[in-house]
Structure 1
Amino acid sequence: MLKLSCKEARELDLVDYLASLGHHPQKIRNQDYWYLSPLRQERTPSFKVSRRLNMWYDHGIGKGGNLIDFGLLYFNCPVSDFLQRLAQYRPSPTFSFHPPSPASFAGEKKEPGEDKIVVVVTRPLNDAVLLGYIHKRRIPVEIARRFCEEVDFLLYGKKHTAIGFQNNAGGYELRNENFKGSSAPKEITFVDNHTEQIVVFEGFFSFLSFCTINRNQQAPLTNCLVLNSLSFFEKSRPLMEQYKQVHLILDRDTAGMNHTRKALQWDENKYIDRSDFYHSRKDLNDWLIHHHHSRKES
């Protein structure tokens, strides 16, 4: 049977190939195509394809690469089998070929150049549009300002402004109404309140929601670990193991629930699944938004 070479496979257009598998972008911004991840179940698009670079990155699992890297994960097969499988699509007129670029994009290690997210300046959170977005997510401004900054950054040579949540290595998780990305280096964020327990979050909006729900408590919050990507979950196990109890507040999608189950298998007495609190919602922030609307209606 005819088989493509690795070079030919890498030059196939990722957007066209995903379309042939039945996956279509939920939104397109310039050359960035955002999908519901083909590798797992989710409700919010976090699988990004840069058509200009012909590279993908799944923010939910912290992995990315070229078309071959995607195919190996999608079909769970060796390279030779995937190249053989791919050959049947080669005659399709929907495919376009172009030379690959060595660069990458948000959330990955990058070569120097304009494709890299470059943080220009940070300042206290004060932009009206960003504060409006914070309000939509039902986070009080004073809590957002305590843990977040306003960040100007360059991407593809254009300046953007976003809410920035800093990690332990000095990189930022960057969010606004239309953008989700991160500046290098990618790392966890650990908030040490000197307690004997720790709460683990997947993303920083769940962490901010936790702070919001508990803002009237007199006692200090427990220690908090924001993973910023599930790819740091197992890497953070030595840190989590230092505590008597580890409360898991991960997303209730497939990836989040699989990682929760994994931790319970490690030690069901130490690790506690707290996602029942928001069992009907994707994550704690989704619950907070819905809970706010429900109280308003009642």
Structure 2
Amino acid sequence: MKERASFKINRKLNVWHDHGSGKGGDLIDFGTLYHNCSVSDLQERLSGYHARPVLSFHPPTVPGNLSGANSRLAGEKKETTEGKIVVLDSRPLVAKDLLDYIEKRGIPLEIAGRFCKEVDFLLYGKKLTVIGFQNNSGGYELRSENFKGSSSPKDVTFIDNRTDDVAVFEGFFSFLSFCTVNKNLTAPLSNCLVLNSLSFFEKSRSLMEQYKQVHLILDRDNAGMNCTKQALQWDANRYIDRSDFYRNHKDLNQWLIHHRQSQEQKPRIGRKL
């Protein structure tokens, strides 16, 4: 089973993003995070590599500006919103390319429209329109055929269906897939917790353990399976691994896409999760 990398680098913009931890930024952000140090400490650390200097905190000298009056001091980080996602507007889903992408992921439009919005945002001076899934703090998980990101603040999304159990998902397409698989269910769905990043898994333990049963519907990659194993060590009676339902697939949405045609041809949707 091939796994999709969660660490992305945009060489054109010189930025990175780790979807597993929900963190990202430029080279300086990576250096301070990797070495667990401040910007000034990172500068001092890098200054020791005299043999082959590969990084400079000073901008190149521009002819006609030799005084350096507008140059930044070494180690000083310029405050700018240019590289941050700025949400401009949200509305019901109507754009055809987004609706086509939702259908490609095997999600009925009535289910997607219940939980998702069409979101305009600005990034590096460019306006983009994508599918937005809102978290509890007002930020969005942002997706399209060609974009994956999130706006601040980053947080989980909790859907309260007033039951005594909770189903836990890593990403919102797995949650939408769960709603799709159970769309003909007459009883209320479980409460649903969408982590939006595995970095919130352990932080959400107190919330999960408010419920008698916790159904883990996490990705079947190394990170997701490690979280499942950790939860079973916490309390094997409370936490239940439901990923066997979509075995041989990375996540529930991949399973749904793979079986969509057979579900349309046969009454297989009777299988519930």
TM-score range, shorter chain: 0.7 to 0.9
Report SS of the residue matched to 1:126: coil
Counterpart amino acid of 1:116?
K
Contact 2:24–2:30 (CA<8 Å) still a contact in 1?
no
What is the CA–CA distance in structure 1 between the aligned matches of 2:265 and 2:86, rounded to whole Å? 43
Q: How does 1:27-46 map to 2 (within 5 A)?
A: 43-46=3-6
TM-score with structure 2 setting the length: 0.79
How many aligned residue pairs are there? 240
Q: Which runs of 5 or more residues in structure 2 are unaligned?
A: 59-74, 267-273
* Residue of 31, 34, 47 corresponding to 2:7: 47
Residue 68 (1) aligns with residue 39 (2) = no
Equivalent in the alignment of 1:273: 241
Deviations 1:168-221 (A, max 9, x none): 000000000000001110000000000000000000000000000000011111
Equivalent in the alignment of 2:166: 198
Residue 126 (1) aligns with residue 94 (2) = yes
Say if 1:153 and 1:263 are closer, same or farther in 2 by CA, change over 3 A: same
What is the CA–CA distance in structure 2 between the aligned matches of 1:101 and 1:177, rounded to whole Å? 37
Q: Which runs of 5 or more residues in structure 1 are unaligned?
A: 1-40, 74-78, 104-110
Residue 217 (1) aligns with residue 180 (2) = no
What is the CA–CA distance in structure 2 between the aligned matches of 1:234 and 1:178, rounded to whole Å? 30
Aligned Cα RMSD in Å?
2.9
* Residue of 193, 196, 200 corresponding to 1:232: 200
Identity %: 63
Contact 1:187–1:228 (CA<8 Å) still a contact in 2?
yes
TM-score with structure 1 setting the length: 0.72
Residue 257 (1) aligns with residue 257 (2) = no
Report SS of the residue matched to 2:203: coil
Higher Rg? 2
Deviations 1:229-273 (A, max 9, x none): 001111111100100000000011111111111000000000011
> Alpha-carbon deviation of 1:140?
0.1
Deviations 1:31-53 (A, max 9, x none): xxxxxxxxxx9722431234477
Contact 2:140–2:154 (CA<8 Å) still a contact in 1?
yes
Deviations 1:121-177 (A, max 9, x none): 111001000000001000000000000000011011110000000000000000000
What is the CA–CA distance in structure 1 between the aligned matches of 2:199 and 2:254, rounded to whole Å? 22
Equivalent in the alignment of 1:176: 144
Equivalent in the alignment of 1:32: none
> Alpha-carbon deviation of 1:292?
1.1
What is the CA–CA distance in structure 1 between the aligned matches of 2:223 and 2:119, rounded to whole Å? 29
> Alpha-carbon deviation of 1:54?
4.6
Say if 1:67 and 1:189 are closer, same or farther in 2 by CA, change over 3 A: closer
